[in-house]
Structure 1
Amino acid sequence: MRSEKEKMLAGDYYDAGDETLVKEREHARELIYDFNNARPKEIEKKARILRELINAKGTFHIEPPFYCDYGYNIEIGDNFYANFGCVVLDVNRVIIGDNVLMAPNVQIYTATHPTNPKERLTGKEFAKTITIGDNVWIGGGAIICPGVTIGSNTTIAAGSVVTKNIPDNVIAAGNPCKVIRRLQR
């Protein structure tokens, strides 16, 4: 029989109240608290906390405040930057490539719930992986919805709500986010 964590990571319905998952979220919240409340000059302390929390493959910088559910489902490539107020609901994997920049208040949501009210009232929830390619810039206040892939060399305009996949080499904007221009290569 699969654990609730295995179900969660497979994108199946799972119980978020599972004891193991609750403990893992509490651990992440303790680390996030320490990170968000570190003094500005405590650069090494903040980096150490983030390295314990997330999977980083290279250099990165995240401005506080930062929030996530588990942390261990976040994979970031080299040369990553997230400005103030980034929220990553990493109930499933969030895979971020190299050279990705996020403006303030970017929100990344893998978590979702059934749209049928009767199913939703049972407490069921599930999550879908989000993938962001290399050389991506995500503008301030953008929301990335569950299951979305954003292609490499792409810019997502400020305030966009990304509900569907966005290809490589484009500028996309709006609610819902749509391609507004293809980039010359």
Structure 2
Amino acid sequence: MTELEKMRRGEAYCLFDPELSRLRDAARRACNAFNTSEPMEADGTSAILRDLFGSAAGDFFIEVPFRCFYGFNIHMGRNAFINVNGVLIDTAPIRLGDDSMIGPGTVLACTDHDRDPQRRAAGMEWGKPITVGARAWIGANVTVLPGITIGADAIVGSGSLVSRDIPDGVVAFGNPARVAGPAVKPASSDI
């Protein structure tokens, strides 16, 4: 089994594998091309990122600069938005729901590393998926750890470290992020 196959199965793999290094380099080049390209197309999307990402349910919006590790593990919902300095460490699938918003400087980090220092030095790591629900809003400078689900309509306050799942329709913040209460839902006449 190749290291890429191990990575896709969520098993431990060696990040120094030549095939994985080539894939990261290709993603780095695509991100650099996107970050230095002319302003986005009229619909707000980028052909560069559409080709790199695993899927897109429709238009999506990403401000520059943006960085990801592989790209093919990223699945964008319709009208999903990532603000400036977004980093997606996509060693496992990252799914952004329709109309979700990711604040500036936010990191979604799927990667976990071996606890044994010798195996860690040898490049052993694995990824766990991250899911952001529809209409969720993640504030600025948030770090989301591997294996986390942030529910639909949830709000995560700026500067938070998300180390546990966040349920649908709540506000959570802090280090570690804790649920503070329900998210306010607008009256239907306010939409």
So what's the TM-score if we normalise by structure 1? 0.93
Correspondences of 1:113-132 after superposition (within 5 Å): 113-132=113-132
Deviations 1:129-180, CA, capped at 9 Å, x for gaps: 1111111000000011001011111000000000011111100000001100
Q: Counterparts of 1:90 and 1:130 in 2: how far apart (Å)?
A: 9
SS at match of 1:172: strand
By how many angstroms is 1:50 displaced? 1.1
SS at match of 2:67: strand
- Contact between 2:14 and 2:122, CA under 8 Å: does it hold in 1? no
Change (3 A) 1:184 1:49: closer
- Contact between 2:135 and 2:153, CA under 8 Å: does it hold in 1? yes
Please list every run of 5 or more consecutive structure 1 residues that lacks an aligned counterpart in the other structure: none
Q: Counterparts of 1:102 and 1:113 in 2: how far apart (Å)?
A: 25
Counterpart residue number, 2:17: 18
Counterpart residue number, 1:7: 6
Q: Considering only aligned residues, what root-mean-square deviation do their CA atoms show, in Å?
A: 1.7
SS at match of 2:124: coil
Q: Counterparts of 2:153 and 2:45 in 1: how far apart (Å)?
A: 29
SS at match of 1:99: coil
- Contact between 1:107 and 1:143, CA under 8 Å: does it hold in 2? yes
Correspondences of 1:143-158 after superposition (within 5 Å): 143-158=143-158
Correspondences of 1:28-43 after superposition (within 5 Å): 28-40=27-39, 43=41
SS at match of 1:67: strand
Identical counterparts, % of pairs:
37
- Contact between 1:35 and 1:46, CA under 8 Å: does it hold in 2? no
- Contact between 1:84 and 1:103, CA under 8 Å: does it hold in 2? yes
Correspondences of 1:26-105 after superposition (within 5 Å): 26-40=25-39, 43=41, 47-54=46-53, 55-105=55-105
- Contact between 1:73 and 1:91, CA under 8 Å: does it hold in 2? yes
Q: Counterparts of 1:122 and 1:62 in 2: how far apart (Å)?
A: 34
By how many angstroms is 1:123 displaced? 2.3
Q: Counterparts of 1:24 and 1:121 in 2: how far apart (Å)?
A: 21
So what's the TM-score if we normalise by structure 2? 0.90
Q: Counterparts of 2:120 and 2:9 in 1: how far apart (Å)?
A: 19
Please list every run of 5 or more consecutive structure 2 residues that lacks an aligned counterpart in the other structure: 186-191
1:108 equivalent to 2:108? Answer: yes
Paired amino acid for 1:52: D
Counterpart residue number, 1:139: 139
- Contact between 1:12 and 1:127, CA under 8 Å: does it hold in 2? yes
Q: Structure 1 segments of 4 or more deviating over 6 A?
A: none
Q: Counterparts of 1:135 and 1:106 in 2: how far apart (Å)?
A: 17
Q: Counterparts of 2:49 and 2:134 in 1: how far apart (Å)?
A: 21
Q: Counterparts of 2:172 and 2:150 in 1: how far apart (Å)?
A: 10
Paired amino acid for 1:64: V
Bigger shift: residues 78-87 or 108-117: 108-117
- Contact between 2:45 and 2:62, CA under 8 Å: does it hold in 1? no
